[in-house]
Structure 1
Amino acid sequence: MSRFCGMQLMVYSAADRSTAALSPANLLSQLAESRASGCLTILSQDVSWIFYLHNGNLFYGITSIDPFDCLERNLKAFSAEIPNIDRPIRQQIRSLFEKQEGSNSTAVYQALSWLRSEGFINQFQTDLLIKNLIKETLESFLSLQTASHRFLALDPSLPILTEFTVFPLLDETFQRLREWSGLSEKVYSPFQRPYLFSQSTSNNKFSPEKLQKLGNLLKGYSLRHLAALIHQDEIKLMRSLDPYIQEGVVFFREPQPPFDKLPPLLRSDLISGNTAIAGPVDTSNNLTSSPSATARPVKIVCIDDSPIILSELRRFLDEDRFEVITIIDSVKALMEVMRIEPDLILLDVGMPNVDGYKFCKVVRNHPNFKTTPIIMVTGNTGLIDRAKAKMSGATDYLTKPFTQEGLLNIVNQHLHK
């Protein structure tokens, strides 16, 4: 049984049509471990899941269920982070790339490439969009029970806009599925539609004003579409609705077509507690065997324009449990942080070309780094500098010069929180 999930996927090889019981996660894991490049297409009933890989890394993912709705929904959800793309631009994207017949899965990637080449989105915004598309696609893919697959070559001229390692994405998606599973048992799909049972209910727990406001909000949108419209995380939205659900004030209708074709979300009892895969995946005939687990080292990114400081940080953090990545180019630092997804960031305040406080604020505003510890490293010791660090979203403040003991204390303090 896979260490990722309890369900097994019946995989049919496009080459020889042989079958094997294989979990969805291990299918991707094998491609990642073998550094495969190509297009993985998974087919289940009338739905397909598409993943683009380059040297084992994912650089795109989408389902065949209204791909342009998925893109537009994410553009709305991240409108604060991507302010250049307003409604007329979204309409232009559809008119330029959406096909009336056939699959639009590839067309969405073409649209993303166009947005990037035309300067509507920068690298940070490109990473943000594509990563969210991949994670949303993984969410339903990992919930599959039976399917077939094909793995085909990609057009070599296809631009690679960004890349993400497979295993952290799987970990994040399984964590998200656990969060969904911890909600009301009545919720089995993010595309279910919450409705107010009656605005005139005699329930004394909620004021008429609250019920009126809630009734104006719940207009037949799915949870996922509603969350994008009001710029709120789906899980937080569900938790805010939970008191109304428990009192029978809010109820759920099934997803509208075509979203009703997606599988119910994987429940927590079918997800293994340890979702990390370490070492190579077995690619022999026994495809369901899983590799032995080892603890993943803590990834620490150090950003500084001084090679000496970076060398000292690496030397002080020279422990087996740390994987230290040093970045001296402040211009490329943001893209690298997005790609690496560190567990902790050590950030110099005074870098050329990039203000450390502004850099910290941009990283902190990204939904994937809301809780990542960011420690500012600086020679400034004034209260104003500390206040600026706090206002920019920094977790803590380390002054130069520092000792190995001081560095390890502050790193361990925030890693263990």
Structure 2
Amino acid sequence: MPKNQTQSSAKELLKSLESTKDGCIYVVRDRIRWAFYVKGGKLVYASHSLESFERLERHLRALSRELPNLDDKLRSQLRLMFDDPDPENAKYKVTSEILCIEYIAILWLVNEHHLPSNMASKLIARVIQEVIEAFLCLPNGEFKGIYYEHLLQDTYCSLSIDRILEVVEQRLKAWYDLGPTISSPYQCPYLVSQTSAAKRMSLETVHRLGRILRGFNFCQLGALLGKDPLAIARQLCPLVSDGSILLRDPLSPFDMLPRTYYLAPEEERENIEKLSETFTDETNAGDDISSISQVFTNQESKTWKIVCIDDSESMLSIISSYLGSEDFQVTLIQDSMKALMKINSIRPDLILLDIGMPSVDGYQLCTLIRKSSSLKDIPIVMVTGNKGIIDRARARIAGATDYLTKPFVQADLLKMMMRHLI
């Protein structure tokens, strides 16, 4: 592709990649940066700039069912190393903004023998599919692809663009057919009427359904349940239609992505003979409500013990209200001097730890917790208003598992719970 060749549709731009020399085609549309990496006329990676690391984490979580070593501890290590790496200490350095940081993380997983090459190929194929689904939803207009030299150190996946389009276009037709009831894979379903839902499933299943539908979008639910997000959307659609489930609009920044329902139907009704063997299509099996009932019935029912340590009473109150009381047993601690003794007696599942406290600050307390043989493996999330690389590095040295920046909303906190507990 010449450096500034312009196409009139997302599909035309993707089709043009087949004749592009090896490199990266970089597209900016509606403040979203899209990157498509091509080698030998085939797609080897794709990304967009909205929560790219969250996207990688979701797919790693789904893959952890096949590779248990991809657990929350390793995923947290990955985030601390690569989500905002210190340029002086990072093993892999980002030399250009078009070199996706999440791809560098995949390289590290492979090179450190956490991820076999064949599973890296499967992971990358799933990421490409999600990115292409969103890209094809963009309305027609000016698509200016800018070519850059190839920057990927290694590639593990090589996909035919024609086949990707076949697979994704069939999936988008299925998403379109769910509209206008469901119009985006990033919408968040909430159970609002247990009475209506109980007409379709047992009360126990309704209860478990309500526990997991608390701010996660369909893509996140897919990672949690080990299911295709499209299959989950299809199975929950009757409950949305009868008012048992309320759908909230995608949370920021996913609200910047186009809706699946606004695609023109004729663009989605191409004749497709078969799906690519690269992707697993679960969407045609078990679409009825009994299937989703089985999924939620199999979910573990547990009350998680959370300790929140912060000298601010208002912050403790906010965290407590965000977590609620049904799924989480929350212990609030204001005095950091007494925190270690209380933590020892509670043995929590996760600790939320403020950094800026008098007497014993969060770094010191985190270090003390990690020295205890009975507490050393508990996830510790440092909570702070500081966003700098040095603060993250200090948190990592002290033994923190993850990092939550103030101010945060309920969805941010629940996402942290999903990452380390659920």
SS in 1 for 2:100: helix
Tell me how far 1:275 sits from its aligned partner.
5.9
Q: 1:66 and 2:51 equivalent?
A: yes
Q: CA offsets per residue over residues 71-118 of structure 1, 9 Å max, x none?
A: 000011121122221111111111211137995861111111111111
Q: State how far apart, in whole Å, the 2-side matches of 1:80 and 1:268 are.
A: 36
Q: State how far apart, in whole Å, the 2-side matches of 1:82 and 1:202 are.
A: 35
Report if aligned partners of 2:36, 2:45 keep a CA contact under 8 Å in 1: yes
- Gapped runs of 5+ residues in structure 1? 1-12, 277-295, 300-340, 343-362, 372-417
Q: What is aligned with 1:329?
A: none
Match of 2:190 among 170, 190, 195: 195
Tell me how far 1:180 sits from its aligned partner.
0.9
Q: What is aligned with 1:127?
A: 121
SS in 1 for 2:149: coil
Report if aligned partners of 1:98, 1:104 keep a CA contact under 8 Å in 2: no
Q: What is aligned with 2:401?
A: none
Q: 1:151 and 2:146 equivalent?
A: yes
Match of 2:67 among 68, 71, 82: 82
Q: State how far apart, in whole Å, the 2-side matches of 1:155 and 1:15 are.
A: 14
Tell me how far 1:256 sits from its aligned partner.
0.5
Match of 1:47 among 32, 48, 70: 32
Aligned length: 273
Q: 1:274 and 2:274 equivalent?
A: no
Once the two structures are aligned, what percentage of the paired residues are identical?
29
TM-score w.r.t. the length of structure 1 is 0.59
Q: State how far apart, in whole Å, the 2-side matches of 1:202 and 1:171 are.
A: 36
Alignment of 1:139-288 (within 5 A): 139-145=133-139, 146-155=141-150, 158-199=153-194, 204=199, 207-265=202-260, 267=263, 269-274=265-270
SS in 1 for 2:157: coil
Which amino acid in the other structure matches residue 223 of structure 1?
F
Which amino acid in the other structure matches residue 25 of structure 1?
K
Q: State how far apart, in whole Å, the 2-side matches of 1:272 and 1:235 are.
A: 16
Q: CA offsets per residue over residues 114-164 of structure 1, 9 Å max, x none?
A: 111111111221111100111101001001124543332334672222211
Which amino acid in the other structure matches residue 241 of structure 1?
L
Report if aligned partners of 1:62, 1:105 keep a CA contact under 8 Å in 2: no
Which amino acid in the other structure matches residue 124 of structure 2?
I
Which amino acid in the other structure matches residue 245 of structure 1?
V
Which amino acid in the other structure matches residue 138 of structure 1?
I
From the superposition, tell whether residues 49 and 212 of structure 1 become closer, same or farther in structure 2 (CA, over 3 Å).
same
Q: State how far apart, in whole Å, the 2-side matches of 1:115 and 1:173 are.
A: 27
Q: What is aligned with 1:321?
A: none
Report if aligned partners of 2:6, 2:142 keep a CA contact under 8 Å in 1: no
Q: State how far apart, in whole Å, the 1-side matches of 2:111 and 2:184 are.
A: 35
Q: State how far apart, in whole Å, the 2-side matches of 1:156 and 1:19 are.
A: 23
From the superposition, tell whether residues 260 and 156 of structure 1 become closer, same or farther in structure 2 (CA, over 3 Å).
closer
Which amino acid in the other structure matches residue 183 of structure 1?
L
Q: Which moved more, 1:161-170 or 1:58-67?
A: 161-170
Alignment of 1:6-21 (within 5 A): 15=3
Q: State how far apart, in whole Å, the 2-side matches of 1:46 and 1:175 are.
A: 27
Tell me how far 1:15 sits from its aligned partner.
4.3
**Aligned Cα root-mean-square deviation (Å):** 3.1
Report if aligned partners of 1:42, 1:147 keep a CA contact under 8 Å in 2: no
Report if aligned partners of 1:184, 1:242 keep a CA contact under 8 Å in 2: no
Q: CA offsets per residue over residues 5-59 of structure 1, 9 Å max, x none?
A: xxxxxxxx9845x755x22112121220x24211111211211111100121110
Q: State how far apart, in whole Å, the 2-side matches of 1:368 and 1:54 are.
A: 26
